[in-house]
Structure 1
Amino acid sequence: MTLLPEGYRLRQGYSKDRALLVKFMNETYQELFPEQQNFSHLAETVKKYYSSQTPLWLIELSSDTQKISTPIGCLWMGTAVDQVTGERYAHIFLVYVAVAHRHQGIATALLDEAQNWAIQRNNHQIGLHVFLHNQPALNLYRRFGFEPQSLSMIKPLSNKSS
């Protein structure tokens, strides 16, 4: 496992951390899609899918002087099904690190944790979804050994009546 920088610690998330997961998802999407204002659907996603079967890990910045830990990042995992083989595999739903704490190896440590979780479950692969315009994430995932398997394509439709 990649060691975290001094002052940071990894802990397992609990059900009480649901709001924090929603917060990190909102921050992720606001950063990636600043023109969009409403991400209320993310809370519904977390409400529906966050469970003991979809574990959460949090990265916290610890202050020895104040005995306070501030969450600055997370990893949310789950299971997906390979569309070709039908085999279940580990899937990363979210990797998030607050902007001020990036480029310190924290995301790498979270990806190591994801890989360890997948190996413990005897998964043969691990997957994730990344937006094509998120170049920093694409670079990180490629360095970690992820390769594209498929491409999701979208066509906007007009709702105009003919």
Structure 2
Amino acid sequence: MSGFIRLVPMNAEQYERFEQRSLADYAEEKIQAGTWTVEEAPERAKESFATYLPQRLDTPHAHLYMLEYSGGAGQNPEEAGYIWFNITEGTQGKEAFLLDILVYDSYQGRGLGTLTMGALEQEARKLGAVRIGLHVFGHNERALHVYRKSGYRVTDIQMSKEI
């Protein structure tokens, strides 16, 4: 793993791309998890976004960044994905909650997920957070690996069985 990730606040055009991709990915994750049907997923995903990002890019407590990857000295930074987290007041102080993270396919397998989690930690700390929480779908083995590698531990498990 070489290079580094910098979190750069999204602009309006980047937000539009993020929202389109994130809505589609979230709907697909919910379908795969068996939570939503194919028919209802797009609308349910939109409702969820309206709840968590009511003012879109200008939603208070929502932090939306593009991942800017620099592979080394002399290389121009490249857009490698995005990350979205919210900061709220928790029982122990401010808490960050990771809502979406994506490293684009062409950047997968280079350790950028781990680099991004480190950048998230630095940014959340700068914003006063004392804890970072997240949800991960059980079928998302790649994400589970990155989160465990980054020091996250399981705090809750929900299970189901098709019968």
TM-score between both structures, scaled by the size of structure 1: 0.68
* Structure 2: runs of 5+ lacking an equivalent: 71-76
Corresponding residue to 2:87 among 63, 72, 79:
79
Give the aligned partner of residue 3 of structure 1: 3
Q: Which has the higher helix share?
A: 2
Tell me by how many angstroms 1:94 deviates.
0.5
Matched, 1:93 2:99: yes
The alpha-carbon distance between structure 1 residues 70 and 138, as it changes in their structure 2 partners (threshold 3 A), is same
Tell me the residue number matched to 1:160.
Answer: none
Find the aligned partners of 1:53 and 1:43 in 2 and give their Cα distance. Answer: 19
Supply the RMSD in Å over aligned alpha carbons.
Answer: 3.4
When residues 71 and 26 of structure 1 are mapped into structure 2, their CA distance, relative to the original with a 3 A threshold, is: farther
Identity of aligned residues (%): 22
1:51-79 Cα distance to aligned partner (Å, 9 max, x none): 252111113579xxxxxx98541100102
Change (3 A) 1:53 1:135: same
CA shift for structure 1 position 19: 1.9
**Given the superposition, is the C-alpha separation of residues 61 and 118 from structure 1 closer, same or farther in structure 2, using an over 3 Å criterion?**
closer
**Which of the residues 53, 57, 60 maps onto 2:61?**
53
1:101 offset after TM fit, Å? 2.0
- In the alignment, the residues of structure 1 paired with residue 69 and residue 124 of structure 2 have an alpha-carbon distance, to the nearest angstrom, of 25
Aligned CA distance change for structure 1 residues 41 and 22 (closer, same or farther; 3 Å)? farther
Alignment of 1:119-134 (within 5 A): 119-134=125-140
Task: Tell me if the contact between 2:27 and 2:45 (Cα under 8 Å) persists in the aligned partners.
Answer: no
The equivalent position to 1:42 in structure 2, one of 30, 40, 45, is 45
Q: In 2, distance between residues paired with 1:122 and 1:90?
A: 9
Alpha-carbon separation, structure 1, partners of 2:20 and 2:47: 12
* Larger Rg computed on CA atoms: 1
Aligned pair partner of 1:112 in 118, 141, 147: 118
Shift of 1:140: 0.6
Q: How many residue pairs were aligned?
A: 144
Give the CA deviation at 1:107: 1.8
